[in-house]
Amino acid sequence: MAESLALLSSSGNLQSHVQGNHRRLGCFPATRSPPPRRLKLPAKSRVFAASDEIPRRWYNLIADLPVKPPPPLHPKTFEPISPEDLSPLFPDELIKQETTLERFIDIPEEVIDVYKLWRPTPLIRAKRLEKLLDTPARIYYKYEGVSPAGSHKPNTAVPQVWYNAQQGVKNVVTETGAGQWGCSLAFACSLFGLNCEVWQVRASYDQKPYRKLMMQTWGAKVHPSPSTITEAGRRILETDASTPGSLGIAISEAVEVAAANPDTKYCLGSVLNHVLLHQTVIGEECIMQLEAIGECPDVIIGCTGGGSNFAGLAFPFLREKLVGGKMNPVIRAVEPEACPSLTKGVYAYDYGDTAGMTPLMKMHTLGHDFIPDPIHAGGLRYHGMAPLVSHVYESGLIETLAIAQTECFQGAIQFARSEGLIPAPEPTHAIAATIREARRCRETGESKVILMAMCGHGHFDLPAYDKYLNGELVDLSFSEDRIRASVAAFPRPS
């Protein structure tokens, strides 16, 4: 890791490009366009940026990486994909964003106007949790659950739908795990007048009926996946009629429909570069908020499924770390033990879906036909990890760990009973890792600043809490034999 950082810090082009004539502000190099004004705040429990300080640009980490991530490959030819290969699925502007080397992308004014419905989101000092843990650490969490859909997902749903609408697209399709992404896309479509069709992973479709009702309230059509509507779904059901489904299967179904209908495009809620790009509004906003109170994070923690929530908070801070300034946080990605793509997966080219219809992506993967056990953190049940998150992990720039769901829910109960917020099952992984770090600080006496990504609330996930509170929640783990079988089925590009 030290060698990777040395390589990045010693890059003359990077240093001159990042620092230039910018003025340092506190422990943060001012590597962003300066906001119109800065709100100075005391160290209160809850911190808001000023209303006019919603970030105006998304940040593209690829621009600052000396070693660029490997390109996606065509699923049939194994050659690097071209923009034309992606045009059946995505509008032109999103294809440009997927492949751009530009450092910043301006956020359209129409998107910012919608962001203002809930942004800026609060940065909250978890003082009561600190007291409960008797830790000298200062714990902050960036809370994205204030969005209309209750999670961070509208940060990318809104621009994706807006770009589709600008190109005259009338219908969009997608997959969803826990339902947060499906709800967010349905919400965005209701604002811009597009039709929305969602394939929800069967396990989550059954566990979380109110997510389905949210999608339907915003006008979406929702199917359990696998379904009998698509060839991919029918093929899976013929093999296993009782399958709990997976995000890979649901992606196959949505992609199949989009590819067969010229008036329909596909939207993805995580994994791809343009999705992670849109989510960096979280980290950019958080940097401004921490500057306002004079804090610097020592540790940054986020849950990872496909990678968008983690990247959205972490990537702007990773940029600040790369310039070799005063800030040098440990950045830690946390995933479920039952689906540990980063900690146990193979870094290889693999399909993003089960049926092999998507481009091949170089990522940490458990195998495209791996079906994780139905843990309650449905948004983290993806066989792979975002290629860009995988790349920075391979470069030694972030750490990772996997935690079982009973420890996660134990942490969630502590958080809810001290801070008042009931977390979604996904960020309970970040909470559990944060509690571990805070307890280490109690043992060592270090007063570290811990920054945690709190990506959504759990108001529609209470059946999971019911199981935990009644002692019915069990830890689920992956099978080494299943992973070996999945790895054997990897495509083999030269």
24-50 pLDDT, tens digit per residue, is 345 655 455 444 344 444 456 777 655
2-61+106-149+274-469 and 154-270 share one CATH topology? yes
CATH of domain 2-61+106-149+274-469: 3.40.50.1100
Answer whether residue 413 shows pLDDT above 90.
yes
Instruction: Please give the pLDDT value at position 494.
Output: 55
pTM over 0.85: yes
User: Sheet containing 399-403: which strands, arranged edge to edge?
Assistant: 46-47, 123-125, 138-143, 449-454, 299-303, 330-336, 399-403
Nearest of 158, 232, 341, 452 to residue 223 by alpha carbon: 232
Q: What is the mean pLDDT of the chain?
A: 86
Encode pLDDT of 423-454 as tens digits: 999 999 999 999 999 999 999 999 999 999 99
- Phi/psi for 404 (5° steps) reads -75, 155
Instruction: Please give the pLDDT value at position 299.
Output: 98
Helices then strands, each counted (H, E), the chain: 21, 17
Q: How many other CB atoms are found less than 10 A from the CB of residue 170?
A: 12
Instruction: Please give the pLDDT value at position 461.
Output: 87
Confidence of residue 18 (pLDDT cuts 50, 70, 90): very low
Tokens of 435: 């509690």
Q: Please tell me whether residue 148 adopts helix, strand or coil conformation.
A: coil
* Three-state SS letters, 353-370: CCCCCCCEEEEEECCCCC
Domain boundaries, the chain: 2-61+106-149+274-469, 154-270
Q: Where are the beta strands (DSSP E) in 246-388?
A: 264-266, 299-303, 330-336, 346-351, 360-365
Q: Are 220 and 244 in contact (CB under 8 A)?
A: no
Encode pLDDT of 344-393 as tens digits: 888 999 988 776 778 899 999 988 777 665 554 445 667 789 999 999 99
**Mean pLDDT, range 231-236, rounded to an integer:** 92
Tell me if the domain spanning 154-270 has CATH number 3.40.50.920.
no
